[in-house]
Amino acid sequence: MPFDFKKEYKEYYMPKKAPVIVDIPRMNYIAVKGSGDPNEENGAYKQAIGTLYAIAYTIKMSYKSDHKISGFFEYVVPPLEGFWWQDGTDGFDYSNKSSLNWISVIRFPEFVTRADFDWAVDEAERKKKIDCSKAEFLTIDEGLCVQIMHIGSYDSEPESVALMDKYIAENGFQNDLSNSRLHHEIYLSDPRKAAPEKCKTVIRHPIKKI
């Protein structure tokens, strides 16, 4: 069976519907940065997702090409994730999506190097006939965080965030959101197929001891 990150690292990808504190290790990602309303038809966000998946699946299927990756093993492409923020806003204004900044990412297996990434970008551009120049190899070390499984629409996320805030305050922590430590979401449902009230999203916030 192919290696499945969600199943092998349940503590990172499958939290309960109650807040929990986790220490997230350093991970490598394919990333595309941008801004604007993620719901905009043919907008920058949806183009970014297309780029991410083109590169992710090029790496996944690399064993069928002439490019051999050292240490490669078959795996399930990890879920889409996003880091989000708004300039000059304390917290989130969910009604003003046009002001959102984002870094959309898909995790790389540890065996993928920058050289492998560069090959995949060139290969995806050649085969898919798309511009992948905005993609980058990004390493993120999140560290200590609180996370929760949010079930529902993206606009109802404040309900779960309130539970996270209450939990960390009761346990001697506080949020540590900054320019380098961002609101993080992991998308376990395809919004094109799942009803909004059933969508599963991991919400993760960086924290620190009070």
At 177 the pLDDT is 95
**Which of 31 and 92 is assigned the larger pLDDT?**
31
According to DSSP, the residues that pair with 149 across neighbouring strands are 202
In sequence order, the 6+-apart residues with CB closer than 8 A to the CB of 67 are 116, 119, 123
Around Cβ 124, how many Cβ atoms within 10 Å? 22
Query: How do residues 111-124 score in pLDDT, each as one tens digit?
Result: 999 999 999 999 99
Q: Is residue 193 predicted with pLDDT exceeding 90? A: no
pTM: predicted TM-score of the whole model, two decimal places: 0.96
Percent of the chain predicted with pLDDT > 90: 91
State pLDDT tens for residues 157-182.
Answer: 999 999 999 999 999 999 999 999 99
Confidence band for 95, pLDDT divided at 50, 70 and 90: confident
Confidence of residue 89 (pLDDT cuts 50, 70, 90): confident
